[in-house]
Structure 1
Amino acid sequence: MADNAVDSKTKLANMTDDYSLERVPAEGKTPMWRVLIVQIGGFVALSQFMLGAELGYGMSFWDAVIATTVGSTFLEFIAFGLGVAGQREGLSTSLLSKWTGFGTIGSAVVGLTFGISLIGWFGIQNSIFAQGIIALLPGHVSFPLVAAITGLVVTFSVLFGFKGLSWTSNISVPAFIIVIGIATYSMFKGHTLTGLITMAAPGAALSMSAAITMVTGNFIIGAIIMPDLNRFNHNAKDVFWVSVIGTLIGELGVNVLGVLMAHAVGKEEIMPIIYQLTGGFGILLVIFSSVKVNDLNLYSASLDFANFFKQVFRKDFNRGAITIVSGLIGTFLSVVGLIDHFSDFLTLLGLVFPPIASIMFIDYWVLKRSRHELDESRLVGQLPSKEERFPLVTIIAWAGGTLAGAYANWGIQSLNVLVISGALYYLGMKLFDRKRLEA
């Protein structure tokens, strides 16, 4: 009896930990369609519609399409590269960064930075979730109370790792598609496609540079955490389909619909748009479908924090326990009104995070500085035994790219960040690399 209890406890611990600090073994791999559904679920979300609506409110249709295409295409290339790296190595993003330019301490910094940003996303999505429920309830309902309840519900679902993500996505993605179908049908009852496409922006003008930076800010986290999901894929072909289909349906498709709906309704707030086009039924489905993207936010945040504690304190904290704490923090952020700063949040992400993706991509696919150690350890299913400190070149490339994006008044901010940080890292490592590995 006691042995059964111990076995059950061990099984639960393994399920909630979800290979957060090790390679995903062969038996942990999953069919491509499961990863694809989760990936689509991450894009087909209210935050994506919020972005599309904001673009449509301040831009013409074709300008918004150009901004979306430019912002997502370049990142798609990097996202695919990082996804394949994660699939090959079976490692989460923050753990992979340890051997792709950031070293032990840098990997911890990456994990902490990602974790904080993903908790911010969790707070934004949870606010939308709570607002939707309040819109359907009669009388005055406390927003903090509803936000607290919804945050705890989502937190519980993420305790069970990738399997929990797959379960919620299998239900919520179809629900969200139904809402989009109803909203699209309603939109075209009162407007023609030609009329919506040729319509002038209903709000204050939004510049192309600012729009592309917002697009990359919205997509950059999804691009960087590609290894978190694709480490469960079997091969690079699976990663390709997950990356391409997920982006076409989610990034481009949802953005375009958001732009058209903003033109049709003349508003940039997504809940009034959904309510006007679909009524209470649409809001109800949107509420439920928003759960799956918050699952993904909290899941990746828990992996990042697990890596942070491992690298800094040399402690293996269970991912499930970290999920609970992260969920509570994210819930608190939603209660205090983080959603009011959505645009500023996207702009910040568009400057700070692209250098991480660029540096990891250049290191793994171009410089291949730790590929030998990764290849040897992968054959035995272990992590590389050698580590390096936070390279000075990485720090300079990260800071230089971010500052260039923030203060350069030419070109497109977020793309400047990607190119400059990647170039600084490549040249710096070629000229000054004094890679000293510790046993």
Structure 2
Amino acid sequence: MASSVGVDDYALTRVPESARYSWWSVAVQRFGQVSALSQFLLGATVGFGMAFWQAFLAFTLGSVILELIMILVGVMGMREGLSTSMIARWTGFGRGGSALIGLAIGISLIGWFGIQSAVSAQGLVQLIGVLPEWAWALVFGLIVTAIVMRGFHSMAWTAYLTVPAFLILVGWSIISELTRHDVGALVASAPPGPQLTLLQGTTLVAGGFIVGAVITPDMTRFNRSAADVAKQTLVGVTLGEYVIGMAGVLLAHAVKSSEITTIVTSSVGWIGILVVVAGTIKINDWNLYSAGLGVVNFVGTVSGKRLNRAVVTGVLGLAGSVLAAAGILDAFTDFLTVLGVAFPPIAGIMVAEYFVVKRWRGDLETARAAGTVPRDAPSWVPATIVVWLAAALIGRFVEWGLPSINSLVVAFVLYVVAGKLGLVRGVGMSRTADTEPAAAL
């Protein structure tokens, strides 16, 4: 029955070479993820508080940070063909730690899925009316859920449709507004709002997509080579950050507002609402997709039961849509923001283990040659939990520098030191549920 509602998409196994995609197919999705409505809003926020060239420098620094993280973590996902929460079992976290990662991903991303469904519902009420906001939240959420249940292939086609539509609509919005202004004057103008420092602007850019960077293996496991990972990252992130982000900067200077709805509707009226809807679909499907993978890994780890990804996705999508319709998700925003400090150290630890310490790298390579996952995984790695907690606390409470990057770098350094001192040891051993080669789904 599970296969009739969607595909499992190799949730707990390696993605075989036969199921990989061209770098362009994945790059369109990465670009759609980075160039979504949230990136437009980020550009408007940065532009409201920074001059144009200062904002350009902030986007440059933030993009370099994000791209470095995405390429390193993405290459891991490509080589192993495993999702973020699965590969974590053999990159420092063990079975128990990977379950915690899966749960954190699931809670965080289903929350953002609901919040963005509610944002689209507000736009649909203005654009179409007919239904109340809560009903549009349900409709929008369930449509995205249906797309994600069909898996990566369905999401790729969604990207082919929504990304060009979003770019055309944004282009129309930009041209319509900027033709009424002297662009040279806007570039030279002072920020219209309270001024942001370069450090604050860079923090907004890097921190705004850090969770997306950490869960990069969920996407790059469908890539064919490390070169493909690098190409799609450089193309997708660079275009997404600069084209959409800097457009938001200019429009914030033109309209003198950081409110994205105000910006797009003042430029092109109801077409602006389509910008909101098209821009939300492409990031929201990945919110739900990664949430489903995380929960499947969590349940499989805790209970030993292998749930179908599509079924889990359907349940999570329905839950997120109902929460959006109920209007209670605003109360979770602060919680989700705090939860976000737990993500950067995950990338730091995984990169340190996979590329430097290599305590379990041999297990992964041996199993990869057989097309399986390692037969066993450590139950817990106590040193990792300590490093994770310490780095997250530093990211939360140390105000110097870039919080998300501070926590990531601290996690990397502490884990390498622990590894060199022989402190990275697994406690207990757990049998991996599925060690058979993945079959085409």
TM-score by length of 2: 0.91
Question: Match for 1:131: what amino acid?
Answer: Q
* Partner deviation per Cα, 1:91-122 (whole Å, 9 max, x = no partner): 01110111111100000000110111111221
Q: Does 1:276 align with 2:266?
A: yes
Q: Report the secondary structure of 1:387's partner residue.
A: strand
* Partner deviation per Cα, 1:67-91 (whole Å, 9 max, x = no partner): 2222231221121011111111110
- Aligned residue runs from structure 1 range 28-427, under 5 A: 28-138=19-129, 141-335=131-325, 336=327, 338=329, 344=334, 348=338, 351-427=341-417
Counterparts of 2:328 and 2:47 in 1: how far apart (Å)? 24
Give the number of equivalent residue pairs. Answer: 428
Aligned-pair CA distance for 1:436: 5.3
Q: Which moved more, 1:370-379 or 1:412-421?
A: 412-421
Q: Report the secondary structure of 1:389's partner residue.
A: strand
Rate the CA distance shift 1:272–1:205 in 2: closer, same or farther, 3 A.
same
Question: Match for 1:274: what amino acid?
Answer: V
Aligned-pair CA distance for 1:258: 1.0
Counterparts of 2:22 and 2:66 in 1: how far apart (Å)? 25
CA contact (8 A) 2:380 2:428 kept: no
CA contact (8 A) 2:264 2:275 kept: no
* Partner deviation per Cα, 1:200-247 (whole Å, 9 max, x = no partner): 222223344443333223211221121111111111111111111111
TM-score by length of 1: 0.92
Aligned-pair CA distance for 1:314: 0.7
Rate the CA distance shift 1:61–1:348 in 2: closer, same or farther, 3 A.
farther
Rate the CA distance shift 1:78–1:289 in 2: closer, same or farther, 3 A.
closer
Counterparts of 2:378 and 2:9 in 1: how far apart (Å)? 26
Q: Report the secondary structure of 1:91's partner residue.
A: coil
Aligned-pair CA distance for 1:297: 1.0
Aligned-pair CA distance for 1:345: 6.9
Counterparts of 1:427 and 1:155 in 2: how far apart (Å)? 43
Question: Match for 1:134: what amino acid?
Answer: V
Q: Report the secondary structure of 1:17's partner residue.
A: coil
Aligned-pair CA distance for 1:285: 4.6
Correspondence for 2:7 among 3, 16, 38: 16
Question: Match for 1:231: what amino acid?
Answer: R
Q: Report the secondary structure of 1:411's partner residue.
A: coil
Rate the CA distance shift 1:347–1:220 in 2: closer, same or farther, 3 A.
same
Task: Give the aligned CA root-mean-square deviation in angstroms.
Answer: 2.1
Counterparts of 2:58 and 2:282 in 1: how far apart (Å)? 26
Counterparts of 1:101 and 1:366 in 2: how far apart (Å)? 11
Aligned-pair CA distance for 1:361: 0.9
Aligned-pair CA distance for 1:257: 1.1
Q: Percent identity?
A: 43
Counterparts of 1:394 and 1:72 in 2: how far apart (Å)? 28
Q: List alignment gaps of at least 5 residues for structure 2.
A: 432-441
Rate the CA distance shift 1:346–1:248 in 2: closer, same or farther, 3 A.
farther
Counterparts of 1:160 and 1:371 in 2: how far apart (Å)? 32
Counterparts of 1:248 and 1:365 in 2: how far apart (Å)? 25
More helix by share: 1
Question: Match for 1:425: what amino acid?
Answer: Y
> 1:5 matched to which residue of 2?
none
* Partner deviation per Cα, 1:183-213 (whole Å, 9 max, x = no partner): 1211321222322222222222334444333
Counterparts of 1:409 and 1:153 in 2: how far apart (Å)? 41
CA contact (8 A) 1:217 1:351 kept: no
Question: Match for 1:295: what amino acid?
Answer: D
Counterparts of 1:112 and 1:365 in 2: how far apart (Å)? 25
Rate the CA distance shift 1:350–1:109 in 2: closer, same or farther, 3 A.
closer
Q: Which moved more, 1:211-220 or 1:166-175?
A: 211-220
CA contact (8 A) 2:94 2:426 kept: no
Counterparts of 1:358 and 1:228 in 2: how far apart (Å)? 17
Q: Does 1:434 align with 2:425?
A: yes
Aligned-pair CA distance for 1:11: 5.2
List, as ranges, runs of 4+ consecutive aligned residues in structure 1 with deviation greater than 4 Å: 339-342, 344-347
CA contact (8 A) 1:175 1:286 kept: no
Aligned-pair CA distance for 1:309: 0.7
Rate the CA distance shift 1:256–1:208 in 2: closer, same or farther, 3 A.
same
